[in-house]
Structure 1
Amino acid sequence: MLDTKDFNFFESQNSFDFKGFLLKIVSYWKWFVLSLGVTFLIAYNVNIRKEKIYGMESLIVVEDQNNPLFTSNTSLIFNWGGTSDKVQTIITALKSRSHNEIVVDKLQYYIKYLKQGEYFFQDAYGETPFVVEIDKTKGQLFGKLIKIKFVSPTQYELSVDFEEANKMALMHYADLSVSEYDVREKEFVKSFKINENVELPFLNLKLVLKPDAINYVNSEYFIRFDDFNQTVAAYKGIDVSADAKALSVVRLQLEGSNKNRLVEYLNVTVDVLRRNELSSKNLFAINTIRFIDSTLVQMEDQIKDAEGELREFRKGKNIYELEEGGGGILTEKLSSYDIEKDDISRKLAYLNLLKSYLEKSIDYSKLPAPTVAGIQDPNIISNVSKLIGLSAERSRMAYTVKNKEMFSDFDREMAAVKSVLLENISSSKSALNIDLSIVNKNIGIAESQASLLPEQKQEHLKITRKYNLKDKIYSTFLEKRSEAEIVKASNISDINFLDRAKDVGGGLRGPKTSVNYILAALLGFLFPLVIVFVITLLDNNINNVEDIQKQTKIPVIGVIGKKNTDNNLSVFEKPKSPLAESFRAIRSSLQFLYKKQQKEGAKILMLTSSVSGEGKTFCSINLATVFALSEKKTVIVGLDLRKPRIFGDFNIDNIIGVVNYLIGQKTIDEVIQKTHIPFLDVIPSGPIPPNPAELLMSESMAEMIEELKQKYDYIILDTPPVGLVSDALELAHFCDATLYVTRQGFTKRGMLSVVNEKHKRGELHNISILFNDFQNKAKYGYGYGYGYGYGYGAYGEGYHDDKVEPKGWKKILNRLKK
């Protein structure tokens, strides 16, 4: 029996074999190459089928552009607050729904211009030779491709494929309402002239040719009417941010598939904002001019009447006589008091009007500036300007925003400003009423002095006071109107371009092809890795010597390579091959075993296995061959009576054999058959008996073994699989050593428990394991080195058959493996 100390093996381990797993991964390199090829091909196709995404940007600066003609007396500009507040207000406005709705509606970006690309419809905005003008009040076919084909320089063909639809939606962009159109035909095709109004139940538009359109005949384009709100939502995503270093500089960035759209949108959105901001700044002046104009119309008649009355009274009278005696001085004094009283009265009237307006109205965008009534209170001026600005913004939103909830923020802020303004009005009125009582007192004193004058002078004083008051008021309003006109004309926007958006080439932002390729590499490696891992976990075969050592403590006597001939006579036909050296190594181990057992005379060796197909017959023939080649008389006895196979490779028949001897039909010499290999004889199984186990247990079997011992040096018993039948167990007591054959990638690990149990019970003794059909490939892990032919290096090459040197890619692959 072989001592375990004579072989290098380890105790059974339950840990995962990482080294074997890595080697197995290398063995499946073709899978990894194929997987990577597939994933990279998919990534390539995804990349070329994706629309290119571009990014455009523009820079604006927000400045505090105070009107150079603005004074405390011409406080007619809209107050945005400080520069920081302006920047944040502008950023919010540019990203607001109301602002973007105005821009989208102005540019009509809900109309998509498309052309057929290789893989998808491309956005052809700015590239088409035409533009479409629509009637917003009438329905337009919604969400359907409309084909435009130019058949001549002045005519085009319009077609729509309705497919199997019964009803189609029509969008009315004036109020964003939707109606339905009952489809009557699967396909609509009709020709129209350029600039001709197209009036159809589902389409109302006019195609206008661009002035620079050339070579457009036979070209095909498509238009599509998209949802207005979805289009606005897409442009609300515009990236607006203040520069970290220069807070007054705002950067606008927008991404999309069409550069023309991006450039135009960025520029127009700023232009719209500049116009709105300038309009807000001019709102005071516009309201003031409107208020003064309406007042002057009324006063023109009054001043004409006063002037006529004064002229009529003075007719035929001596004016110097009327003004002498203190009359002129008194008239001048009363006139100044009257003007002062009128100034206070106008202020009170404005405050009463403002209070009434605040309490009864919700639209404050048309309020005139407080300075038109001479009010200089900064709190009132500031709050009125805020209220006008909020009201104007709310009015602009009302044209586009359909959701009432969006007005809640404006309404709350306006309510807060109104509350403060009402308190300002109350305090100002109290102060003005005090001033008014003082002026009335002064007027009373002056009038009592005038009552002492003659009646004619009193009448002249009265008419003159009336005329002077009207004239002064009229002149004041004319002055205020001139100031408002100057302020309006000289106002400039606080928003200016630093860099307008412009397509100067480049700007490509996507698709991120490198990311897709990296993902393809990861997935291409991961998929086969998972498969190999699953295969490794589910693989229950013995693939290397390590697998054997983990399942049993029975020593491995040797490793046999893969058969290199068509028949089983590999050692005889290729005696210098590594395979032959492996069998010679096993022969040396067996001789060492027999020497250690001090065994003399004939030696009996039994070969068995777990199941059929593991290579018992192959190993039996070649072990017998190496003994015979060393000029030892050797016989192979075919004891697999149920499935005889050993005769075919020697070109002998199986008519007579072991069975004939055991039943007494033939003598030992009659069943022995010579082979073409010197010193090697064979006893085939013979005809298949009905009771093979009983024959092997008979006394005739013992007699045959004894007779063979007298004739041969080595007796090789080829037996049935011990895992299937018990025949081999009946022969174990005849043997000096037993070889249990396992096969790489075939023998199951669990089968070794059978031989472990039988060895533990003593049914099989002097047993060693022979690892057959070994291939030195990474997918089988590691663990080779037990055979004679595996480990000699360059020195061993002299004992082997000449090798055929690989060429081409095989040579490169072999070098990579090494």
Structure 2
Amino acid sequence: MLDTKDFNFFESHNSFDFKGFLFKIIGCWKWFVLSLGITFLFAYNVNIRKESMYGMESLIIVEDQNNPFFTSNTSLVFNWGGTSDKVQTIITSLKSRSHNEIVVDKLQYYIKYLKQDEYFFKDAYGEVPFYVEIDKSKGQLFDKLIKITFLSPSQYKLSIDFGESTSASLIQYSDVTIKPVNVSGGEFNRVFKINESVDLPFLKFKLIIKPEAFEFTNQEYFIRFDDFNNTVANYRAIDVSTDAKALSIVRLQLEGSNKYRLVEYLNTTVEELKNIQLASKNQFANNTISFIDSTLIEMEGQIKNAENELKEFRKGKNILELEEEVGGNLLSQKLSGYDVEKDAINRKIAYYNLLKNYLEKTTDYSKLPAPSVAGIDDPNVVSNVSKLIVLSADRANLSYTVKNKKMFSEFDVEMESIKKVLLENIASSKSALSLNLSLINKNITKAEGEASLLPENKQEHIKITRNYNLKDKIYSTFLEKRSEAEIVKAANISDIKFLDPAKDIGGGLRGPKTSINYILAAFLGVLVPLLVIFVMVLIDNNVNTIEDIKKMTKIPVIGIVGNKVSDSNLSVFEMPKSALAESFRSIRSSLQFMYKKQQKVGAKIVMITSSVSGEGKTFCSINLATVFALSDKKTVIVGLDLRKPRIFDDFHIDNVMGVVNYLIGQKTINEVIQSTHIPFLDVISSGPIPPNPSELLMSDAMHEMIQELKAKYDYIVLDTPPVGLVSDALELAQFCDATIYVARQGFTKKGMLNVVNEKHKRGELHNISILFNGFSNNSKNGYAYGYGVYGEGYHNEKVKNKVWKKIINRFKK
């Protein structure tokens, strides 16, 4: 019964053999060459099939551009909250969906212009000699290649391959909707003239040749109508960042396969942002102008009526008489002055009431007019109203692009704090204005009392003149304020300036990273076989080296035998000067020394066994016996592997009679002995396979056969069954003077050596030695042993021509 410790895997793998691993790598160099070839070929194919990617960039600077016409009287202020806030707002805007939608729609980048390359469709925007004008309210064939072939400078053929499909999709860019449409299937072909409107159920456009285009006849191009939202999403990937050393400088970077498209998009997106920012900057002035215009329209009618009333009153009257009264003129001027002061106060109160109503009932303050239209020059009120307009406009813009509730809450908190301050300012200002208004009213009442002492015509003239002068003064004031607002608006400039616009000056290639792909290919080409070899070495439980045997057992190694050098197992006889023959001669010498040490006389018996079938037990038996026979010693090989008889084929004899026939009493010893063509070497084959091989080998007839063979031969070689599979070899060990256990390189399991150790310790196998068979010196199994230069010159070996040498020799012939 075998113990589990006989097959202890960890006992045989207590340390990693780095030296053996290194030689294993060297021996498998062809794997590395093959792996590197595959990975480099794959990298090459990846590189040539990838479209080149380019990177373009532009620089802009954000500044506080104050209006040179701004004065304390103008009171039209606009501020984005300082440069740092502007920069963050600009970065957010450039990456926002709404802004990129404006740019994409303006440039119509959802229309792709392509050209067939060797491995892919190349983005040919800017290179194609034409462009198409589409009606955005009409549906266009969605996500389908449309082939344009120019037949002449004035005609082209439009081709579409619908395949077997009878339906397609149309995209309408006015509202970005996709609808189905029926098609006839197959390939659609039709010839159109340049500048002719294409009116098909699935296409509505006009193809126009660029003025600079030439030599485009017989050229083929493709167009494709892509999804608008996906196109916008691609351009939202624009990289926008601030300079680490100058926070007011913003860097825009964009990557793509078409440099012309990248340059155009970068410059256009900045220009659009400048326009939007300048429009926001002019919002305050526009609100003021709009408010004044509406007021002036109303005032024009009032002043016209006042003027007509004054003219009617003066008809048929002596104007000089009405105006010659010095006291009356002074009184009239005093009342007109009081009226103007009262109107100014009333306009301020009316503006504060309007502002309060906005603050309490609405949330959109972007339409508020400037406080200056009412003559309010309080810096706190003017500044806070300006901030409130800006915050309201920014919040409205972000609501379409940002879904961050925290950002909106920050806007709301800041706007709420400004509203509270403004409401307090309104309350205090209205209180002061009410006091001033009461004083003016008292002065007007007093002056009107003085005027009541004048003649009736004089009083009426003063009344009509007061009304006219008031309307005229108000009208003039509003005209002055409107002119100020127009000056401010005309003088406003954007806070965004190009520091370095995008430009194609050559280069800019970002990918594919061919060098990185090749480096990665080299890394993988080495790593994959290295890992495979490492795993193979790690899980390899075979005996590969002498060191493996020495680690596993204290049983001595009697010799090392290489692979056979002939087609048959008779390697020693066929090539007696080979290194293999010398190996067996060395084993013979070791056996003779062992017999001499044992003071053994007469016939010597050696048993050859192994762990399992396939380790070369029969090969070693034949060649060891041949070595004895070549030294003129009468030798016999006895085939005792009754289950798998093999020893007869190489000697060209039959297996009709053998050991089995002798053991069952059918034949005598002389009848089962067969001579061979090798002098002094006879063979007794196993004979027919018996049903009870173990019982036959344990019978008394076996003892008699051994005794008879001892009387006839000098050396008896017993080819026995594997000791690891059956117990037959153990029964035969009692007849033997020496036992040779055959271990084959790369075949014998390390755990089987534990089996042999155990049997040796129990005394079941005595005088045992290990023969290391099938050793190869090509480094594949861990170490490179060989006979060196001396061996190569001394021995006669079959030299196998390398394949590459054969090719060279054939080429020379």
Residue 796 of structure 2: which of 794, 801, 805 is its match? 801
Contact 2:365 2:388 in 1 (8 A): yes
Structure 1 residues 165 and 686: alpha-carbon distance in aligned structure 2, compared to 1, 3 A threshold: closer
Q: Would you say 1:299 and 2:294 are equivalent positions?
A: no
Structure 1 residues 105 and 657: alpha-carbon distance in aligned structure 2, compared to 1, 3 A threshold: closer
Distance across 1 between alignment mates of 2:792 and 2:41: 45
Contact 2:628 2:635 in 1 (8 A): yes
Q: Equivalent pairs: percent with the same residue? A: 71
Contact 2:103 2:268 in 1 (8 A): yes
Question: Which residue type is aligned with residue 773 of structure 1?
Answer: G
Residues 177-235 of structure 1 show CA distances to partners (whole Å, capped at 9, x for unaligned) of 34332344444333332222233333322222211122222322222222222222222
Contact 2:12 2:750 in 1 (8 A): no
Deviation at 1:507, TM superposition (A): 1.0
Deviation at 1:501, TM superposition (A): 0.8
Structure 1 residues 434 and 386: alpha-carbon distance in aligned structure 2, compared to 1, 3 A threshold: same
Residues 76-133 of structure 1 show CA distances to partners (whole Å, capped at 9, x for unaligned) of 2422222222222212221222212211221122222222222222222222222222
Distance across 2 between alignment mates of 1:665 and 1:94: 106
SS of equivalent residue, structure 1 residue 778: coil
Structure 1 residues 762 and 186: alpha-carbon distance in aligned structure 2, compared to 1, 3 A threshold: same
Distance across 1 between alignment mates of 2:666 and 2:498: 118
Deviation at 1:442, TM superposition (A): 2.0
Distance across 1 between alignment mates of 2:656 and 2:238: 95
SS of equivalent residue, structure 1 residue 435: helix
Deviation at 1:59, TM superposition (A): 0.8
Partner of 1:6: none
Residues 458-498 of structure 1 show CA distances to partners (whole Å, capped at 9, x for unaligned) of 34433333333233223222222222222222221111111
Partner of 1:385: 386
Partner of 1:767: 768
Deviation at 1:272, TM superposition (A): 0.9
Partner of 1:38: 38
Contact 1:620 1:717 in 2 (8 A): yes
Residues 120-174 of structure 1 show CA distances to partners (whole Å, capped at 9, x for unaligned) of 2222222222222222222223222233232332232333333344543333222
Structure 1 residues 199 and 597: alpha-carbon distance in aligned structure 2, compared to 1, 3 A threshold: same
Contact 2:114 2:123 in 1 (8 A): yes
Partner of 2:810: none
Contact 1:365 1:389 in 2 (8 A): yes
- What are the within-5 Å matches in structure 2 for residues 744-763 of structure 1? 744-752=745-753, 754-763=755-764
Partner of 1:79: 79
Distance across 2 between alignment mates of 1:396 and 1:643: 92
- How much is the aligned-residue C-alpha RMSD, in angstroms? 3.6
Contact 1:641 1:685 in 2 (8 A): no
Q: Would you say 1:257 and 2:252 are equivalent positions?
A: no
Structure 1 residues 131 and 779: alpha-carbon distance in aligned structure 2, compared to 1, 3 A threshold: same
Distance across 2 between alignment mates of 1:236 and 1:165: 34
Distance across 2 between alignment mates of 1:465 and 1:499: 61
Question: Which residue type is aligned with residue 448 of structure 1?
Answer: G
Residues 752-779 of structure 1 show CA distances to partners (whole Å, capped at 9, x for unaligned) of 4554454344332212221211112433
SS of equivalent residue, structure 1 residue 779: coil
Question: Which residue type is aligned with residue 196 of structure 1?
Answer: E
Which stretch shows the higher mean deviation, 796-805 or 57-66? 796-805
Distance across 1 between alignment mates of 2:304 and 2:642: 146
Structure 1 residues 66 and 656: alpha-carbon distance in aligned structure 2, compared to 1, 3 A threshold: closer
Distance across 2 between alignment mates of 1:689 and 1:267: 95
Partner of 1:614: 615
Structure 1 residues 305 and 656: alpha-carbon distance in aligned structure 2, compared to 1, 3 A threshold: closer
Structure 1 residues 207 and 359: alpha-carbon distance in aligned structure 2, compared to 1, 3 A threshold: farther
Q: Would you say 1:576 and 2:574 are equivalent positions?
A: no
Question: Which residue type is aligned with residue 137 of structure 1?
Answer: S
- What are the within-5 Å matches in structure 2 for residues 421-460 of structure 1? 421-460=422-461
- What are the within-5 Å matches in structure 2 for residues 271-670 of structure 1? 271-307=271-307, 309-310=309-310, 313=314, 317=318, 319=320, 322-358=323-359, 364-390=365-391, 392=393, 417-418=418-419, 420-536=421-537, 539-640=540-641, 644-650=645-651
Distance across 2 between alignment mates of 1:402 and 1:793: 79
Contact 2:607 2:720 in 1 (8 A): yes
Structure 1 residues 151 and 606: alpha-carbon distance in aligned structure 2, compared to 1, 3 A threshold: same
Question: Which residue type is aligned with residue 125 of structure 1?
Answer: Y
Distance across 1 between alignment mates of 2:208 and 2:435: 69
Contact 2:657 2:688 in 1 (8 A): no
Which stretch shows the higher mean deviation, 278-287 or 643-652? 643-652
Question: Which residue type is aligned with residue 735 of structure 2?
Answer: F
Structure 1 residues 335 and 772: alpha-carbon distance in aligned structure 2, compared to 1, 3 A threshold: same
- What are the within-5 Å matches in structure 2 for residues 728-747 of structure 1? 728-747=729-748
Q: Would you say 1:18 and 2:12 are equivalent positions?
A: no
Deviation at 1:60, TM superposition (A): 0.9
Distance across 2 between alignment mates of 1:242 and 1:632: 97
SS of equivalent residue, structure 1 residue 70: coil
Structure 1 residues 293 and 759: alpha-carbon distance in aligned structure 2, compared to 1, 3 A threshold: closer
Question: Which residue type is aligned with residue 575 of structure 2?
Answer: K
Structure 1 residues 699 and 202: alpha-carbon distance in aligned structure 2, compared to 1, 3 A threshold: closer
Distance across 2 between alignment mates of 1:421 and 1:404: 28
Partner of 2:5: none
Partner of 1:234: 234
Deviation at 1:286, TM superposition (A): 2.7
Residues 326-381 of structure 1 show CA distances to partners (whole Å, capped at 9, x for unaligned) of 33333332222221111111222223333445556665444332212211122332
Q: Would you say 1:141 and 2:136 are equivalent positions?
A: no
Distance across 1 between alignment mates of 2:223 and 2:414: 43
Question: Which residue type is aligned with residue 507 of structure 1?
Answer: G
Question: Which residue type is aligned with residue 350 of structure 1?
Answer: Y
List runs of 5+ in structure 1 lacking aligned partners. 1-10, 812-818
The total of aligned residue pairs comes to 793
Distance across 2 between alignment mates of 1:419 and 1:172: 48
Deviation at 1:317, TM superposition (A): 3.0
Question: Which residue type is aligned with residue 473 of structure 2?
Answer: K
Distance across 2 between alignment mates of 1:319 and 1:144: 89
Structure 1 residues 476 and 652: alpha-carbon distance in aligned structure 2, compared to 1, 3 A threshold: closer
Distance across 1 between alignment mates of 2:321 and 2:167: 93
Distance across 1 between alignment mates of 2:128 and 2:332: 78
Partner of 2:199: 199
Partner of 2:4: none
Deviation at 1:565, TM superposition (A): 1.7
Distance across 2 between alignment mates of 1:403 and 1:732: 90
Contact 1:60 1:495 in 2 (8 A): yes
Distance across 2 between alignment mates of 1:75 and 1:291: 15
Distance across 1 between alignment mates of 2:671 and 2:82: 123
Question: Which residue type is aligned with residue 140 of structure 1?
Answer: Q
SS of equivalent residue, structure 1 residue 289: helix
Distance across 1 between alignment mates of 2:191 and 2:75: 61
Distance across 1 between alignment mates of 2:527 and 2:362: 70
SS of equivalent residue, structure 1 residue 115: strand
Which stretch shows the higher mean deviation, 522-531 or 482-491? 522-531
Question: Which residue type is aligned with residue 581 of structure 2?
Answer: A
Q: Would you say 1:110 and 2:110 are equivalent positions?
A: yes
Which stretch shows the higher mean deviation, 211-220 or 407-416? 407-416
Residues 517-539 of structure 1 show CA distances to partners (whole Å, capped at 9, x for unaligned) of 34333443444344445544554
Partner of 2:7: none
Distance across 2 between alignment mates of 1:345 and 1:66: 32
Question: Which residue type is aligned with residue 542 of structure 1?
Answer: V
Distance across 1 between alignment mates of 2:237 and 2:56: 14
Deviation at 1:696, TM superposition (A): 4.7
SS of equivalent residue, structure 2 residue 223: strand
Question: Which residue type is aligned with residue 174 of structure 1?
Answer: S
Deviation at 1:269, TM superposition (A): 0.9
Structure 1 residues 28 and 461: alpha-carbon distance in aligned structure 2, compared to 1, 3 A threshold: same
Partner of 1:124: 124
Distance across 2 between alignment mates of 1:22 and 1:276: 69
Q: Would you say 1:171 and 2:166 are equivalent positions?
A: no
Question: Which residue type is aligned with residue 626 of structure 1?
Answer: V
